[in-house]
Structure 1
Amino acid sequence: MQNYYHVLGVGASATAREIEQGYLRQRTRLRQLAADPAMRARLTEVEAGYGILGHPRRRVAYDVLLAQEPDMPVLPPHYAAAEARWYHHARLARSLNVALLACCLLLGFDWALPLRQYPLETVQSRFPVSVPAALSAPEMAYRVHTAHTSFRLPSAIGHRVRMGQAIVVWQTPLLGIVQRISVPESPDGPAPFRPYGGTIYGTFFLLPLLLAAVAAVGTWPGHSPETYVNTAAVGALLTILTLVMLLCF
């Protein structure tokens, strides 16, 4: 038998006013999570509980029936508050997962759309921008600017792009990530090569796919609050890793 006192978060000796306050508190909290089928089911239980406990005669009859039931384990007094905090965190975590999934969809559209090509861009500037912390393998990266694009090159291929050279650049249409570069007059040949950042759609493409899968699980209705919070935490870590790959490699 359902214990509607526990559903409303009040004690068995609660006054009519306390029962009404418990009902309003639970209804307000659950209506904020109404998109979740599990929360809608809880809201239905709250409505049913108030329909019985909020009516004096029905409450008397319910108390008689409840007294005949075996003793149920008593919940700790802080249980309702802790549960409310979990659902509050779950709502925020689910919103974060929705935002992460939207970012992954943006990356997907950016990858799927045709690349914007800039033929014969003139290299306007080229200068070193970073040195890795590993003293055993020092390496520089070069920041290159043209009229329409900006990208970084590792030192291993930095010699292929020189000041004043005419190059061909392929860039994604939405986020402006330079995917490929070709230097027709290079001694190494005109074969396209990738700069830093372009590998997010190449070598590291599994990373945004994994992030999208985690975020999708964290937005699907019907999961427990723990699932929403855990997927948001994992998604945040994957987002940081994706940004590092995008900016550094």
Structure 2
Amino acid sequence: MQDYYRLLGVPVTASPLEIERAYQQQKARLSRRTADPAMKARLQEVHTGYEILGNPGRRLAYNVLLAQEPPPPAPPPDALQLMLARYAPAARWLNAALVAFCLLLALDWALPPREFAGEVVLVRRIVSVSSSASDPQMAYDVTTPRTAFRVPSRFGHRVRKGQRLTAVSQTPLLGVVRRISAPPTVPGEASVIKVSGGNIYGSFGLLPVVLFVVAVLGLLPGRSPEMRVNTAVVAFLLAVVALVVLVWF
């Protein structure tokens, strides 16, 4: 059965004056488009609805019939929303784990580093650090009695097997070598050598900050399942990049 209250845009408790005003507004809007058959039919329905609701006796009878109408069927559940709701708890735990990972990085960066003086280079192995055959790049994996790190090929002549390094600075928790010092080979050469891995605390230092913000957004109370899942996906991808930077660069 047609719901004339909805058609006119008025509540069931509307006064006769409100019904009259709503009818005139609908009539004025639809009368300008009577060339359209659909609008002409809609105007006729609006007119019929006004004739029923504008008459107290007919309106009372219509209200009785409208009350006996069964409620409209509930819309079918959205498959996507069901899936998001199912994965939201796991996404929340993932966000929490990534926040803990960021806090671990922050603590590892903030604590005083361990300094190893006089480390001897035991192993120096050349490795490829480029995924493109057109732009090959090499580096050296270096092992000392208490540390292991990677140096770019341009510093290979400074770190040779059997050479004694001046100092090696390593983070206390994750054991990331942030810098080493080696005797200069030519006058004026800097003693500090930049190593790979420590970039997560240097040139890529903004990456853990962004990861932390995204993961925290997914943990805030009142977030929708979609928000929790989306933040978990983005945070996971950022964490993968952070690990690549930590290990590779």
Q: Same fold (TM over 0.5)?
A: yes
What CA deviation, in whole Å up to 9, does each residue of 1:154-177 have, x standing for no partner?
112222111111111000000000
Please state how far the C-alpha of 1:240 moved relative to its aligned partner.
1.1
Question: Could you say if the C-alpha distance between residues 177 and 73 of structure 1 is closer, same or farther in structure 2, counting changes exceeding 3 Å?
Answer: farther
Question: Could you say if the C-alpha distance between residues 70 and 205 of structure 1 is closer, same or farther in structure 2, counting changes exceeding 3 Å?
Answer: farther
What CA deviation, in whole Å up to 9, does each residue of 1:35-65 have, x standing for no partner?
xxxxxxxxxxxxxxxxxxxxxxxxxxxxxxx
* Residue of structure 2 equivalent to 1:206: 206
- Provide the secondary structure at the position in 1 that maps to 2:154: coil
* Residue of structure 1 equivalent to 2:145: 147
One of 78, 100, 111 as aligned partner of 2:109: 111
Please state how far the C-alpha of 1:85 moved relative to its aligned partner.
3.9
* Residue of structure 1 equivalent to 2:182: 183
User: What is the TM-score of this pair, normalised by structure 2?
Assistant: 0.67
Contact 1:183 1:192 survives alignment (8 Å): yes
CA distance in 1 between counterparts of 2:74 and 2:171 reads 56
Aligned length: 182
- Provide the secondary structure at the position in 1 that maps to 2:142: strand
Question: Could you say if the C-alpha distance between residues 200 and 84 of structure 1 is closer, same or farther in structure 2, counting changes exceeding 3 Å?
Answer: same
User: What is the TM-score of this pair, normalised by structure 1?
Assistant: 0.67
Matches for 1:43-82 after TM superposition, within 5 Å: 74-79=73-78
Q: Indicate whether 1:133 and 2:119 are aligned.
A: no
Contact 1:183 1:189 survives alignment (8 Å): no
Please state how far the C-alpha of 1:131 moved relative to its aligned partner.
4.7
CA distance in 1 between counterparts of 2:139 and 2:72 reads 65
* Residue of structure 2 equivalent to 1:222: 222
Question: Could you say if the C-alpha distance between residues 146 and 70 of structure 1 is closer, same or farther in structure 2, counting changes exceeding 3 Å?
Answer: farther
- Asked which structure has the greater CA Rg, the reply is 2
Unaligned runs of 5+ in 1: 1-66
Identity over aligned pairs, percent: 48
- Provide the secondary structure at the position in 1 that maps to 2:146: coil
What CA deviation, in whole Å up to 9, does each residue of 1:118-150 have, x standing for no partner?
011011110112252323332211110000000
CA distance in 1 between counterparts of 2:97 and 2:196 reads 26
CA distance in 1 between counterparts of 2:69 and 2:143 reads 77
Q: CA RMSD in A?
A: 2.3
Please state how far the C-alpha of 1:86 moved relative to its aligned partner.
2.8
- Provide the secondary structure at the position in 1 that maps to 2:193: coil
CA distance in 2 between counterparts of 1:229 and 1:111 reads 29
More off after superposition, 107-116 vs 181-190: 181-190
**Residue type of the partner of 1:103?**
F
CA distance in 2 between counterparts of 1:97 and 1:240 reads 13
CA distance in 2 between counterparts of 1:152 and 1:203 reads 16
**Residue type of the partner of 2:163?**
Q
Please state how far the C-alpha of 1:73 moved relative to its aligned partner.
5.8
- Provide the secondary structure at the position in 2 that maps to 1:141: strand
CA distance in 2 between counterparts of 1:205 and 1:73 reads 56
